[in-house]
Amino acid sequence: MTTALNCEQVAKKITRALPGAVVAADKAAVVVTSKSLYQVAEFLKNTPAFDFDYLTNLTAVDYMDYFEVIYHLISLKHNHSLVLKTRCRDRDKPVVPSVVSLWRSADFQEREIYDLMGIAFEGHPNLKRLLLWEGFVGHPLRRDYL
């Protein structure tokens, strides 16, 4: 059985290593600032106690006030999981750092979010639309589209 890690304890460990990174932590997820996202992801991947080697799912939700980008991480070695989130409030030009250099599974998924939700991933090697065609106007998965 995959154990979901206690997010509050994980948040404490992240804060010890990277002060100011964690915004909030509840039962479901750890929320970090978008500025420190890459460092937190690197920390979670390379710390032996966490060893999150498998980024299984990456998606985004439009809450109108802000966008939330959600990372579902699994460690195949320890068989535990964690939900990492980050938020960005800028509706016109939302930007989140890319994690493709850590987990290549983010490649298509970040492109999909860029395509359908309009969030740019800084540092992505090939950021362009995935499902819709070049020249399509708008981002259909935003709540204010249609």
Partner 1 sequence: MAIKTEPFILNIGPQHPSTHGVFRMRVTLDGEVVVDLEPVIGYLHRGIEKLGEARTYTQIIPLTDRLDYVASMTNNLAYVLAVEKLAGIEIPERGEYLRIIMAETMRISSHLMAVGFFLNDLGAMMTPVLYMWREREKLLDLYEMVCGQRLTYNYMRIGGVSHDVPEEFLPALKKWVAEMPRFIDEYDQLLSQNEILLARTKGVCILPRETAINIAASGPVLRASGVKWDLRKADPYSIYDRFDFEIPVGSVGDNYDRYWVRMQEMRQSVRILEQAIAQLPEGEVCAKVPQLLRPPVGEVYGHIEAPKGELGFYLVSDNSIAPYRFHIRPPTLINLTALKDMVIGWKVADLIITFGSIDVCLGEIDR
What is the C-alpha radius of gyration for the chain, rounded to an integer number of angstroms? 15
Residue 127 binds partner 1 (CB under 8 A): no
> Which of 59, 66, 91, 120 touches partner 1 by CB under 8 A?
59
Choice from 61, 91, 120, 127 touching partner 1 (CB under 8 A): 61
Dist CA 82 CA 103 (whole Å): 15
Q: Looking at 12, 79, 95, 125, which residue binds partner 1 (CB under 8 A)?
A: 79
Binding status of residue 23 toward partner 1 by CB under 8 A: no
Backbone torsions φ then ψ of 118, nearest 5 degrees? 80, 25
Given the complex with partner 1, which of 35 and 104 has the nearer CB atom?
Answer: 104
Q: Which SS3 state, helix, strand or coil, does residue 25 take?
A: strand
State which of residues 104, 123, 125, 138 lies at the interface with partner 1 (CB under 8 A): 104
CA dihedral (87, 90, 91, 92) in degrees, to 10, reads -140
In this structure, what token pair is assigned to residue 63?
A: 């809450």
Options 13-21, 35-43, 88-96, 128-136: segment touching partner 1 (CB under 8 A): 128-136
Burial status of residue 128 (CB atoms within 10 A of its CB: 0-12, 13-18, 19 or more): exposed
Contacting residues toward partner 1, per CB under 8 A:
1-2, 28, 53-57, 59, 61-62, 70, 72, 76, 79, 83, 103-105, 107-109, 116, 129-133, 140-141
